[in-house]
Amino acid sequence: MFEMTRVYHLEPSLIQDYKTDDIAPMYGRNVDGYGSKIPTRHWVKVKNRWRRIYTTIYSNIGTNWIVVDKKTLVVRDALDLDSYRKSRCGSPPKLSE
């Protein structure tokens, strides 16, 4: 038999804050732009700690995720971030501020 893998999603209510870098780091991807842990320019604060949102991209489709307590949490198509932004009525500050 095979073991089922469970997918955990980041709940918007867990996001305490959100910010972005001016540009995304260039490491973590191959020359074609694909990779399993590509850093994005987006950050979320969950459980009082800033966590970078990473993406895994192969074959023109990607999944955004963060790690919390050794669990990978999927960030659903930026819907979680949009929910956070709408609840705070504004755009996120730049990381350099």
Task: For 7-58, write each residue's pLDDT tens digit.
Answer: 888 888 888 888 888 888 888 777 777 889 999 888 999 999 999 999 998 8
Distance of CA 63 to the CA centre of its chain: 9
Distance between CA atoms of 90 and 64, rounded to whole angstroms?
A: 22
- Whole-model pTM: value is 0.74
Distances (CA, A) of 70 to 35, 66, 67, 96: 20, 10, 6, 28
Place of tokens 């956070």: 84
